[in-house]
Amino acid sequence: MSVSPNMITTTFELPGYRIAKTIGLVRGVTVRSRSIFGTIGASLETLVGGNITLFEEMCEKTREEALELMMQHAAQEGANAVIGVRYDATEVMQGVTEVLAYGTAVQVERAA
């Protein structure tokens, strides 16, 4: 069993489906640090202002990885959907950040 990206939601229901079984909490955790080159490049981007693309790309990749790990955890637990999905981030130490994706793993069936 796997969890499709279209079966992941921040809400507590999936339109067109009913929750047949609640499995419980699932999560995906990843920890990232900035490289010296990324930090220097991003520092240069701050001089001109606007979007800091180097950090944006790193953050998006980190969130994507945490979400993928959460989906894998859900599938291992027998889920085919995850509801109530959230992200959290914590700076573990200077320049090192933990990103957590979590939600409630469920088994859903098409609503009649």
Could you tell me the mean pLDDT of each successive run of 10 residues in the chain, 112 residues long? Answer: 90 96 97 62 54 72 94 97 96 84 97 86
Task: Say what the alpha-carbon torsion angle 95, 91, 65, 32 is, to the nearest 10 degrees.
Answer: 20
pTM score, two decimals?
0.81
The single-letter code of the amino acid at 74 is A
Look at residue 91 in the predicted model and tell me its pLDDT: 83
